[in-house]
Homo-oligomer: A and B are copies of this chain.
């Protein structure tokens, strides 16, 4: 038993819109525990839509259509489904009345075009649309084949899904067994290195464990199937503990946590504050930190020292360090961190200076070379050098900001705090 999502719309084939409906429905199906092995996108074309119906109805028992329910001539999902299953369309008076009322509320007259939206196959149930004019349908075509249709407008589709489709699917016995997932997030380790360490876990059946990677971040998703959320969590728990032990410091958090939120939590726990000095990231590190609501309790601000004059005048970087070692150097990174920490009077000062590219690289200082500086509460300062490679300006900037947060995270996790002054 499985479901299949069929998205209808030439605008999808032209790339005019993103198929966010398919993602939403996929998440919902997973939560209900309804297996789902294929998604199809097809244009507003009768023959090709019929081919998609033919293939899908041979391999799935629940077909979920989005799109093609509107009033225009190229909206042909309902009539094509009816025609494929040799079933006549009938006009439903309650739909006509509903559309008329909605139009009246907006001071408009219903057009003849809209009358078409009142036609559904004989024997199908109306799937009401509380938002827009186009209703969908729930149609038990035959034993082991149910069709649900939704308009393509995401806000309408979602309301109809939640209000009517989910309760219907639950009466069919779905949603009794659910899937719960836990996402472990890693920084500072490659996908292949992590995969080698945890390869045995990829063979598990329940829970399953699978790796993902994006923009320098690696994730492991643990997914369990069970009768209740609690039972699913009990299946996940021991595997999660093992993975956390193997991951060690490289695992920075889970689920909705970000490097910025985890660093924020650690700053709150340690009752310390942070300021940043940014060159190549130009504000991106500050933006990441302040994406966390409530960050004002530990993040005081920063200095974007894009021009060297700002590094000198506002951060107190020595002109000699700039001329001798260059703006992209460990010396300047350290002086930036020390400077911002002292000028903003925070516990920690974190700095980034590097070459984001595409221009500005040289043989000794290639694009992707980045220094991160970290100044701390006992006036200590360290720096870290990275070669991120010429992988695109935004990639270098994003990975630099994340790596800076990660270095502060490791420091906060492993260094004992200075003793409080007893005075």
Chain A's interface size range is 35 or more
Interface-side segment among A139-147, A165-173, A211-219: A211-219
Judge whether B40 and A39 touch: CB under 8 Å.
yes
**A18 surroundings in chain B (CB, below 8 A):** 18-20, 23
**A295 surroundings in chain B (CB, below 8 A):** 282, 306
Contact of A73 among B107, B131, B202, B281 (CB under 8 A): B202
B-binding residues in A (CB < 8 A): 10-20, 22-30, 36-43, 45, 48, 51-52, 55, 59, 70-74, 102, 105-108, 111-114, 131, 133, 153, 155, 181, 190-193, 195-196, 199, 202, 210-215, 221, 223, 276, 278, 280-291, 293-296, 299-307, 309-310, 313-314, 343-345, 356-359, 387-389, 391-395, 397
Nearest CB in chain B: distance from A267 CB, A:
13
Nearest CB to that of A368 among chain B residues? B105
**A357 surroundings in chain B (CB, below 8 A):** 293
Contact of A284 among B12, B16, B153, B283 (CB under 8 A): B283
Contact of A45 among B37, B43, B210 (CB under 8 A): B37
**A211 surroundings in chain B (CB, below 8 A):** 72
Known contacts: A285-B283, A389-B105. The answer to whether A41 contacts B38 by CB under 8 A is: yes
Judge whether B294 and A359 touch: CB under 8 Å.
yes
**A153 surroundings in chain B (CB, below 8 A):** 213-214
Nearest CB to that of A285 among chain B residues? B283
Judge whether B42 and A41 touch: CB under 8 Å.
no
**A281 surroundings in chain B (CB, below 8 A):** 287, 290
Judge whether B284 and A287 touch: CB under 8 Å.
yes
Known contacts: A108-B190, A359-B294. The answer to whether A16 contacts B221 by CB under 8 A is: yes
Contact of A72 among B71, B195, B299, B388 (CB under 8 A): B195
